[in-house]
Amino acid sequence: METDTILIIVSCSALGILLGYIVAKALEKNNASKIIKNAKEESSAILRQANAEGESIKKDKLLQAKEKFIELKSEHEKIILARDKKLAEAEKRTRDKESQVSNELSKNKKLTQEIEEKVKDYDFRLEFLEKKKEEVDKAHKSQIRQLEVISALSAEEAKSQLIESLRNEAKSDAMAYIQETVEEAKLTAQQEAKKIIINTIQRIGTEEAIDNCVSVFNIESDDVKGRIIGREGRNIRAIEAATGVEIIVDDTPEAIILSCFDSVRREVARLSLHKLVTDGRIHPAKIEEVVQKTQKQIEQEIIEVGKRTVIDLGIHGLHPELIKLVGRMKYRSSYGQNLLQHSREVAKLCGVMAAELGLNPKIAKRAGLLHDIGKVPDSESDIETPHAILGMQWAEKYGEKPEVCNAIGAHHDEIEMTTLLAPIIQVCDAISGARPGARRQVLDSYIQRLKDLEDVAFGFNGVNKAYAIQAGRELRVMVESDRVSDEQAANLSFEISQKIQTDMTYPGQVKVTVIRETRAVNIAK
């Protein structure tokens, strides 16, 4: 019984499942048909909408095309109207020109007729003149025949005699005129040259530049003299050894005399004494320190003097080394004449004379200032070269113009003058040196003798410094203690004295003092 129940239940379940499946399929088929129907309706609606939009777009494009056509048509009509207007104006101008040309042609016809009439008149006059000329020639020939009969000479002979006489007369007159012109030119040239030189000299007023060999150092009281001398004269000896200047302390109140032929040494000694007296501490170590600082100060002052000089003269673009050489000229002399003042004077003279002659005064000033830079050599080897050639070499080395270099080298005729600037420098140099009281030959020869005396000492090994003092009557020689012993110092003194005796000419006697000093220096740290 239970088995039948189970079978019934299973049969009912299978029947239910089958009925459910059939119902589901029927429902699914019904839904699919509805979806297809809806899709068809939507697609037809889309097609209708697309057709409507296409029609509207088509109408818009047609309207735009019509508007564009109308616009292009109007522009084309405007261009045609403008061309028609230009053609009308061109036709009008052509008609005006044709009328003008016709008027000109009528005028030309009238002028041609007038010219033809004048030509006919001129032809008639020419025929008349020809007839008159023939009559005059006949009359002239008849006169010549009559003159030939009277003078018993033919026309050619008379003409040749007349030409010869006129030629001789013209030749003599021409020679006289040429001679007179040459003499007048010489006189005028001399007068103009003298006028230029005189005007140049009158426009330059320079003091007489005479260098002395002594300087006076003023002190506040005579008590300072004792401190300068030092114990047993050690301070004054240290100053003389460091500067190479002879210091004379005598009974002159409130003054000490510094004697040396070298202006740089005297200036170093004067400034060093001023610093030492102001400081109050005067001893050998301080003296050497102050002298070294003063020497550096003088070097800087030399540069400043050179800069001030070129600024005062209006010279620009000068090389720094040339400026330094210009400053060094302040402490050099030529025949007793201060070299810097002489060069400044020559520069001013050259500038004035160049302006008078129509040349460049700036270049002339430049050459005038630099013409004697060879007189301040850097080393002993440069002394053997003439100062004009040495100055020219320095100018070329530091980039000066060729005309300036030639003027420097040729102002003493060492080389050939190639520009007009060279004789101007030579003349102005002579003018500056030839002024009354400008130079002293004796002083220059004296300074040269003292320099030669010092050079003798420098020719020996181991010599560190050499100073000629007391007007050349004493030569003090400082030697290096590590190279020269005490015994060698005595021999060196003898050898130097023998060298001076055999090679130099001098009045009186020369005392040779060789100083050898040994120092032991250590530093505590």
pLDDT in tens, 109-119: 888 888 888 88
pLDDT the model gives residue 203: 53
pLDDT the model gives residue 58: 83
| 8 A C-beta contact, residue 306 and residue 321 | no
Determine which of 200-214, 349-363, 429-443 has the lowest per-residue pLDDT on average.
Answer: 200-214
How large is the angle between the packed helices 402-410 and 421-434, nearest 10 degrees?
40
- C-alpha to C-alpha distances, 371 to 225, 236, 242, 364, 510, nearest whole angstrom: 43, 40, 33, 10, 36
pLDDT the model gives residue 158: 65
| pLDDT above 90 as % of the chain | 0
H runs (alpha helix) in 204-312: 223-229, 234-243, 263-279, 284-312
Report the C-alpha gap between 272 and 256 in whole angstroms: 13
pLDDT the model gives residue 207: 47
CA proximity to 360, closest of 429, 392, 314: 314
| Residues whose CB falls within 8 Å of the CB of residue 431, separated by 6 or more in sequence, listed in order | 197, 200, 201, 349
Predicted confidence (pLDDT) per residue in 301-317, tens digit: 888 888 988 888 888 88
One-letter identity of residue 134: E
For residue 293, pLDDT over 60 is answered with yes
Determine which of 171-180, 198-207, 230-239 has the lowest per-residue pLDDT on average.
Answer: 198-207
91-100, 140-149, 177-186: which is most confident? 91-100
For residue 210, pLDDT over 60 is answered with no
**Which residue shows structure tokens 């032929």?**
261
